[in-house]
Amino acid sequence: MLNVEGLNAWYGQAQALFDVSLTVGEGELVVIQGLNGAGKSTLLQSLIGIGPRAQGRITWHNEPIQAWPAHRRAKAGLGFVAEDRRLFTALSVKENLWIASPSGASPSAQATPAQRFDRVMALFPQLQTMLHRPASQMSGGEQQMLALARTLMTGPRLLLLDEPCEGIAPVLVAAMRDALLQLAREGVAMLVAEQNNILAGHAQRVLVLTSGHVNAPA
């Protein structure tokens, strides 16, 4: 469903990705490992259209999307959760969730916004207990859950997750891992950047990025 061939990316003159190729098939979990600065965030950001200058071929369901702006990629089903979460910190949990789904269900949507809301509440019962709390008053792990839940409100077909279990309390790491594996069982495809081996053991494929180069076959 997502196919990347020969992706190169540059920050100014500095090249950050070198000929990266990978695929994520329907319902697959693919993990990207790599040290700090290896290029994991740059890769995910390039795929959703918010990266630096890039060249290469990116197809989504066989359609080239590398020239598409980020909002079009999102609408086509690419959902992204950044490492820094990017929540609306002054808004409540509930407001953060509904702001991602403002326009009601389109006739072709697989689920209504209300159904998506119920689904994320079932996936993250912790959020149910703090619906009216401002995001600024949540722990890092709770914020990470909210960021994922907000992206799920958009009904993505592929989730691109940047270090979803990094820097959060162990009990929340387990909850996050279980939620992601539940989503994988439900058929949501995922491309996950991680350094901490939380999901790698469950992945169909693990790619290793080293200084912008992929070291393992896609």
Q: Which is nearer to ligand ATP, 43 or 145 (CB)?
A: 43
For 109, residues 6+ apart whose C-beta sits below 8 A from its C-beta are 155
Q: Residues in contact with ligand ATP, total (CB under 6 A)?
A: 11
Cα of 165 vs its chain's centroid, Å: 12
By CB under 6 A, which span of 9-17, 151-159, 170-178, 196-204 interacts with ligand ATP? 9-17
For the chain, state the CA radius of gyration. Answer: 17
Segment contacting ligand ATP (CB under 6 A): 32-40, 62-70, 132-140, 176-184?
32-40
**Contact status: 155 vs ligand ATP (CB under 6 A):** no
Residue range at the interface with ligand ATP (CB under 6 A); choices 30-38, 57-65, 105-113, 137-145:
30-38
Measured from the CB atom, the residue of 94 and 213 that comes closer to ligand ATP is: 213
Question: What backbone phi and psi angles, to 5 degrees, belong to 47?
Answer: -70, -35
**Tokens matching residue 10:** 């540059």
Q: Exposed (0-12), middle (13-18) or buried (19+): which is 70, by Cβ within 10 Å?
A: middle
Asked whether the CA dihedral 9, 15, 18, 23 is positive or negative, the reply is: negative
Nearer to ligand ATP, 38 or 47 (CB): 38
Q: According to the binding rule CB under 6 A, does residue 144 interact with ligand ATP?
A: no
Does residue 42 bind ligand ATP (CB under 6 A)?
A: yes
The strand pairing partners of 81, in sequence order, are: 161
Q: Which residue has the tokens 């309390």?
A: 169
Q: Which is nearer to ligand ATP, 95 or 166 (CB)?
A: 166
Instruction: Give the Å distances, CA to CA, from 189 to 27, 53, 116, 121, 164.
Output: 4, 26, 17, 20, 15
Binding segment (CB under 6 A) for ligand ATP, from list 38-46, 64-72, 108-116, 146-154: 38-46
Footprint of ligand ATP (CB under 6 A): 11, 14, 16, 34, 36-42
